[in-house]
Amino acid sequence: MADSDTTHPRLGSAVTVMAARRYFLEGASKSEIAAELGMSRFRVARLLEAARRDGIVRIEIRIPPEYDVELASLLAARYGLRDAVVLRHVEGSDELRRGQLGRACAELMTAALDSTDVLGISWGRTLHSMVDHLTSLPGCSVVQIVGNVPTLELNVNSMELVRRVAECAGGPVYPLHLPILVDSPAMADALRRDPHVDRTVAMFDRLTMAVVGIGAWTTSGSTLRAALPDDLAAELDAAGAVADVCSTILSSDGRELRVVGLPGRFIAISSEQLRAVPEVVAIAGGEAKAQAIHAVLRSGLVHRLITDEQAARALLAA
């Protein structure tokens, strides 16, 4: 067949249908179809464009009812995110809400990761809910990017979270067998020189993706705040702290806050290292966390957000 636009109309329709079927249903490339039909791939591209224009091919995107795509688009545009996922409001407990967010995060990770990735995981209750929805991941490396955070919930800690994610991936795992906060910078330096700790900390600069939780800087909303001595927590309160992500503490406008006696004591990824990660996904929801999420988005530390309708509406109204 000649590569021409003067094909007989009936034959042209048949060729268009054939090209569309091979491309959209069977996954053939434009070059493969061109070789089969004896025409250029540019002619194939025109046929495929005509198939959609003339209604021969109709593409329908079925959006799961739990996702609010319009809110997600508005949120991404407002904060300059690459993407956002917004889950519609559901009646139920905080545990149910966290489970909904966790499932969305698990689906994103399963789709986005491959075996060459180096995945950093922070910690948080919602991230623990995410693990419940993971079945398997490509054999990527999994890195614990914050030391263990003290909590009364024995099954909710950084190391347990990383262990469970690594089990799903089956690749190398890099744990941190240390608390997130130690008594002095000198102690932190000495601990980082331990070969096992150094092996994990060295991976911070090799991360290709990080998944992080967001803490609201309140007595009950931030386990990091609860881990600090009372005087340092009060000083950060006075400085305007509203959020924490990993070991970075932020004001409402996204500025990192530092107080005397705290820098150098964290065993965790730094804000500079987190900012260098090519893909950072934050997961947090609920209207009570909207101010904290706003601060993290203003900081520029994250590229994608998984949240819920309550937080999204509060963020858009801010």
End-to-end CA distance of the chain: 61
SS (H, E, C) 146-178: ECECCCCCCCCCHHHHHHHHHHHHCCCEECCCC
> 244 forms bridges with which residues in the sheet?
215, 249
Q: Please tell me the distance from the alpha carbon of residue 271 to that of residue 245, in angstroms, as a whole number.
A: 9
Domain spans in the chain, listed from the N-terminal domain onward: 9-53, 69-317
CA-closest candidate to residue 67, choices 85, 90, 82, 94: 85
Q: Name residue, tokens 């909303």.
A: 221
Q: Please tell me the distance from the alpha carbon of residue 75 to that of residue 276, in angstroms, as a whole number.
A: 23
User: pLDDT 10s per residue in the chain (318 long)?
Assistant: 444 444 444 456 788 888 998 998 898 999 999 998 888 889 999 999 988 888 888 877 676 778 899 999 999 999 999 999 999 977 777 788 888 999 999 999 999 999 999 999 998 888 888 988 998 899 999 999 999 876 545 456 678 889 889 999 999 999 999 999 999 999 999 999 999 999 999 999 999 999 999 999 998 888 889 889 999 999 999 999 999 999 999 999 999 999 888 889 999 999 999 999 999 999 999 999 999 999 999 999 999 999 999 999 999 998
Domain 9-53 has CATH 3.40.1710: no
CATH of 69-317, one of 3.90.1150.10, 3.30.365.10, 3.30.420.40, 3.40.50.1360: 3.40.50.1360
Q: Do domains 9-53 and 69-317 have the same CATH topology?
A: no
Rg over CA atoms, the chain: 24
Say if pTM beats, i.e. exceeds, 0.85: no
Contact at 8 Å (CB) between 107 and 87? no
